[in-house]
Chains A and B, each alone.
Chain A
Amino acid sequence: MSAAINDIKLSNAQIAWRAAQDIEDGAYVNLGIGFPEMVAKFQPAGREAVFHTENGVLGFGEAPEAGEEDWDLINAGKKAITLKPGSTFFHHADSFAMVRGGHLDVAILGAYQVAQNGDLANWSTGKGGVPAVGGAMDLVHGAKRVAVITDHITKKGEPKLMAACTMPLTGVGCVTRVYTSLAVIDIEDGRFVLREKLPAIYFDDLQAVTGAELKVDGTVRDLIVPAL
């Protein structure tokens, strides 16, 4: 089963592409550090999102050429960025007013685990070491939509979509949509509702690698993503 899933599953870039298709023109968007940053590359033509970074920039653009970095101009991942026309700087309290105050349209984050009630675990595996939270617990509150992009299962083949998270929570009941390597799933009324799945996977096989019941409410569309 897992070998077959590894053959058909979407790459991280493809998951990011799919998530990018749902970002409206003019949306204010925060992308989590790491994998979610990839979403910015796949904005559909004709749509322009304004990207927010926790350390105080709205409207930043791509990374500069090597050697062109200005280390006063970085994103939350401490990577060098550039500015687009119309960008702005602000201090950290204003930045998190944008986050918690309901001013962002969407936040797209990575996950260790997501539960069917929308609980998210993405900051600590709970195994000790040095704990670090950054802005993760703030970002899950306030954005109109909190979406997760993730592999559907762990490298060991265990479900990441769970009846209840077993790892330390980042936030309670906060996730509204999950884009996985196999499917697009909404969280509604404490349940996973299947919206799209790869045509190559049967529903029962998808259910078997999901840690809670997948509800079907209306049509399940084919998840079609270009080769990237």
Chain B
Amino acid sequence: MDKTVAALAEAVAPIQDGATVMIGGFGGSGAPIELIHALIDKGPKDLTVINNNAGNGHVGIAAMIEQGMVRKMICSFPRSADPKVFTDLYLAGGIELELVPQGTLAERIRAGGAGIPAFYTPTSFGTDLAKGKPVAEFDGRQYVQERWLKADFALIKGELGDPMGNLTYRMAARNFNPLMATAAKHTIAQVSRIVPPGGIDPEQVVTPGIFVNSVTEAAIPQQEEILNRQEAVYP
């Protein structure tokens, strides 16, 4: 078995117009910038993107939105240091937004990957974000029904990867990445280093390779925060 793919462009090649794409990261931490930029180079349109945020500055997800690739964002916090790209398009009616509380977003993705079609959570009960959702009482408390979230593709960022697709992460860059790896039909990982099978201690594997379809090396990955401080614009 060898899930390694030499080129970023080859890794994102299966992503077509209209796809639903989960993209890992929380702000810039854990954001697979190289995969996102490779996807911009390919240029599919009409995408639904699932991420905690909605881009920052003019790189990464913000650049995808700026290039007109995104029809809908599903996220918890579409604000950032420089949210202008999303904000302007949203206020002009050019992009849809499904706003999901952060813990509910994580659990919906987890449920999607785990084959659980719906679950109940206390989060959002009695608020505007629970409108239209079924409510039920358990042990005297009210809970809101939420549905699983799945995707056609996930773009994720790991630290080490091997040809089996096993992955580790680096510090708080883990965030949504391991969840999204489980919830997509086709999961594409970029890692800082590809090691041979056995190069990752099985005790240290965070995402088992069964959840991963391809692994590409981006040896010194770019950080969104640093790109934005340099006022970078992609492409």
Binding site for A on B (CB under 8 A): 26-30, 52, 76-81, 83, 86-87, 90-91, 97, 99-107, 109-110, 121-129, 169-179, 206, 223-226
Contact = CB atoms under 8 A, between A and B. Distances in A.
Given A93-B107, A137-B124, A72 B101 contact: no
A124 B128 CA distance: 10
B127 A132 contact: no
Interface string A170-185: 1110000000000000
Nearest to A99: B103
21 contacts: A56-B172, A57-B172, A71-B28, A72-B29, A72-B171, A72-B172, A91-B176, A92-B175, A95-B106, A96-B103, A100-B103, A100-B123, A129-B91, A130-B78, A130-B79, A134-B102, A135-B76, A135-B103, A137-B101, A138-B101, A172-B125
B97 A89 contact: no
B29 A133 contact: no
A172 B135 CA distance: 14
A168 B129 CA distance: 10
Given A56-B172, A89-B174, A133-B76, A72 B30 contact: yes
B176 A137 contact: no
B122 A141 contact: yes
A92 B123 CA distance: 15
Contacts of A69: 225
Contacts of A142: 122
Nearest to B102: A135
> Secondary structure of the A side of the interface?
loop
B102 A91 contact: no
B77 A134 contact: yes
Contact of A172 (B126, B171, B179): B126
Contacts of B206: 91
Contacts of B223: 71-72
A133 B101 contact: yes
A72 B174 CA distance: 9
A90 B174 contact: yes
B29 A71 contact: yes
B128 A168 contact: yes
A105 interface: no
Contacts of A209: none
B103 A70 contact: no
A190 to B, nearest CB: 15
B78 A132 contact: yes
B103 A138 contact: yes
Contacts of A100: 103, 121-123
Contacts of A91: 106, 174-179, 206
A71 B175 contact: no
A69 B225 CA distance: 10
Contacts of A99: 103
Contacts of A74: 26-27, 29, 172
Interface string A35-71: 0000000000000000001111100000000000111
Interface in A132-181: 132-138, 141-142, 168-172
Nearest to A74: B29
Given A55-B172, A72-B30, A93-B110, A169 B127 contact: yes
Given A69-B225, A78-B80, 6 more contacts: A91-B106, A91-B177, A96-B106, A134-B77, A134-B102, A135-B101
A131 B128 CA distance: 11
Contacts of A93: 106-107, 109-110, 179
A95 B202 CA distance: 23
